[in-house]
């Protein structure tokens, strides 16, 4: 444990100075390890030392203040410490009465989350592995509740032969929504038109709702991964509820706008939805893997995942395993609690506001770089940028990744190659923003002069 602690300390001390991309591909890492399971074991210290030696060159410096890839946050020290204890305590957090210590902390974390995100206080909260599973949990609750209202019990009757359940999604929803629907046996959703920022058009939704009266789930989004944009929740929830539909919100990183008074206007009407999915390992900066499913009708979440058996302990209250797909699991709500406890409400507001301020600063600076265009309205943490043509954009990305100082990730948006600067790490500050703008400027100059 001392060897692991020393390696962890070294790793974290170097986050701001280490080159960001990994320098050792998977194949090279594999080649440095014994190819067959060795006959003899070795001591714990030797194992940790070998692990550190082999893995470190293959690590991506996600905690760097100049890392902007995908939507990946850092890890707050309090959350990391709590996560270590969760491993050391090794509690199976599924049953309230069996492991009451960690369950108490998770239940308080759930309460605090509802308070911080301004969601209905009697909602059920499930601690899952990430937002994909949180979407799965919310959509499972939706499916089972809507079909139960039509006299169909999914738990016993399955989905084959069930009344048709329609799922309406924004044209720019995240792919994890499609995955969750696939796992639930619901097939591909029906897209509803979105505007230039990727926001679902509420008039198009209303029109779609009117075409059919089958039970319907509307899946809205808080935080588009390219634009950061938020679907207009108030008109979406009004239209959906007029039609008797369930509204689920994928808010992997965007739900956290609700924590900030300055940003709350972005999520107006959010609390009118029926279920919400978010990540703790993005904005809240807990270690992986940590997501949160919230369902207004607590009974609906338990209907989807509840289970009893003679060999289990059953509490008066719903047991944690009845609110998530897993039975056995680590107490991943404990690092969530620790992150919130270390930040406090004001620290959480500062964290979210700082990410947004950095994104705006980055966008203003990048817009000045000759040949670069910021493609989105920067309302939140995402800045999507392109050069004059796809080839130049990709060349700039390659150059940045080779230099290793600044790390945006590549994507395509509205038929263009783009660089995404997703400000998701709490370590990003004004200095990192200024360095990033300078580095990108130089990369664009080098690439375009080279083409000259």
131 interacts with ligand PLP by CB under 6 A: yes
Torsion over CA of 157, 162, 163 and 167, rounded to 10 degrees? 110
The residue of the chain with the least Cβ separation from ligand PLP equals 130
- Write down the least CB distance from residue 131 to ligand PLP, Å: 3
**φ/ψ of residue 420, rounded to 5:** -100, 125
Cα separation, 213 vs 243, in Å, equals 8
Judged by CB under 6 A, the stretch of 83-91, 118-126, 128-136, 369-377 that binds ligand PLP is 128-136
Any idea what DSSP says for residue 200? B
- 419's enclosing H/E stretch is strand 416-422
Any idea what DSSP says for residue 164? P
225 interacts with ligand PLP by CB under 6 A: yes
Packing angle of the helix pair 202-210, 233-242 (nearest 10 deg): 10
386 CB-side CA count, 13 A: 16
Ranges of beta strands (E only) in 22-109 are 67-68
Instruction: Specify the residue, 166 or 174, whose C-beta has the smaller distance to ligand PLP.
Output: 174
252 interacts with ligand PLP by CB under 6 A: yes
Instruction: Specify the residue, 131 or 142, whose C-beta has the smaller distance to ligand PLP.
Output: 131
Instruction: Specify the residue, 225 or 351, whose C-beta has the smaller distance to ligand PLP.
Output: 225
130 interacts with ligand PLP by CB under 6 A: yes
- Write down the least CB distance from residue 378 to ligand PLP, Å: 16
Q: In this structure, are residues 205 and 239 in contact, taking their beta carbons and an 8 Å threshold?
A: yes
- 36's enclosing H/E stretch is none
Q: In this structure, are residues 283 and 256 in contact, taking their beta carbons and an 8 Å threshold?
A: yes
174 interacts with ligand PLP by CB under 6 A: yes
436 interacts with ligand PLP by CB under 6 A: no
237 interacts with ligand PLP by CB under 6 A: no
Q: Which of 178, 250, 297, 319 is close enough to bind ligand PLP by CB under 6 A? A: 250
Residues in contact with ligand PLP, shown as a per-residue x/- string from 313 to 352 under the rule CB under 6 A: ----------------------------------------
358 interacts with ligand PLP by CB under 6 A: no
Q: Could you give the 3-state DSSP secondary structure of residue 73?
A: coil
Q: Which of 63, 110, 291, 425 is close enough to bind ligand PLP by CB under 6 A? A: 291
Q: Which of 279, 297, 319, 322 is close enough to bind ligand PLP by CB under 6 A? A: 279
DSSP letters of 129-162? SSHHHHHHHHHHHHHHHHHHHTT--HHHH-STTP
- Write down the least CB distance from residue 130 to ligand PLP, Å: 3
386 interacts with ligand PLP by CB under 6 A: no
Any idea what DSSP says for residue 270? G
For binding to ligand PLP (CB under 6 A), which residues are involved?
Answer: 71, 130-132, 174, 176, 223, 225, 250, 252-253, 279, 291
């Amino acid at each position: 444990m001392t060897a692991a602690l020393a390696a962890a300390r070294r790793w974290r001390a170097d986050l701001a100075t280490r080159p960001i991309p990994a320098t050792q591909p998977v194949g090279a890492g594999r080649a440095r390890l014994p190819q067959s399971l060795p006959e003899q074991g070795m001591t714990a210290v030797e194992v940790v030392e070998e692990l550190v030696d082999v893995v470190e060159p293959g690590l991506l410096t996600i905690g760097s203040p100049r890392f902007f890839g995908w939507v990946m946050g850092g890890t707050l020290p309090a959350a990391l410490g709590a996560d270590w204890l969760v491993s050391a305590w090794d509690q199976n957090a599924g049953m309230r009465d069996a492991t009451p210590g960690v369950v108490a902390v998770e239940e308080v974390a759930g309460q605090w989350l509802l308070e911080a995100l301004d969601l209905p206080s009697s909602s059920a909260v499930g601690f899952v592995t990430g937002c994909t599973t949180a979407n799965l949990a919310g959509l499972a609750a939706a499916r089972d509740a809507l079909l139960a209202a039509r006299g169909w019990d999914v738990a016993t009757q399955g989905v084959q032969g069930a009344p048709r359940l329609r799922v309406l999604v924004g044209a720019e929803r995240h792919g994890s929504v499609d995955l969750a629907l696939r796992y639930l046996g619901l097939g591909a959703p029906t897209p509803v038109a979105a505007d230039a920022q990727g926001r679902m058009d509420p008039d198009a939704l209303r029109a779609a709702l009117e075409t059919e009266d089958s039970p319907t789930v509307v899946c809205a989004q808080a935080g588009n991964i390219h634009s950061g944009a938020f679907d207009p929740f108030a008109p979406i929830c009004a239209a959906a509820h007029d039609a008797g539909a369930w509204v689920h919100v994928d808010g992997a990183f965007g739900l956290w706008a609700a924590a900030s008074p300055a940003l709350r206007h972005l999520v107006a009407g959010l609390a009118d939805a029926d279920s919400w999915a978010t990540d703790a390992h993005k904005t809240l900066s807990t270690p992986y893997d940590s997501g949160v499913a919230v369902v207004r009708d607590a009974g609906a979440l338990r209907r989807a995942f509840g289970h009893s058996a003679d060999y289990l302990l059953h509490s008066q209250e719903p047991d944690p395993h009845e609110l998530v797909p897993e039975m056995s699991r680590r107490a991943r709500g404990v690092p969530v609690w620790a992150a919130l406890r270390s930040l406090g409400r004001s620290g959480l507001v500062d964290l979210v506001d700082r990410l947004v301020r950095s994104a705006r600063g980055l966008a203003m600076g990048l817009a000045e770089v000759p040949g670069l265009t910021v493609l989105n309205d920067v309302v939140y943490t995402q800045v999507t940028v392109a050069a004059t043509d796809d080839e130049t954009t990709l060349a700039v990305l390659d150059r940045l990744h080779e230099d290793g100082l600044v790390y945006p990730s590549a994507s395509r948006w509205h038929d263009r190659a783009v660089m995404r600067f997703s400000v998701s790490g709490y370590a990003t500050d004004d200095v990192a923003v200024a360095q990033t703008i300078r580095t990108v400027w130089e990369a664009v100059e080098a690439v375009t002069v080279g083409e000259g």
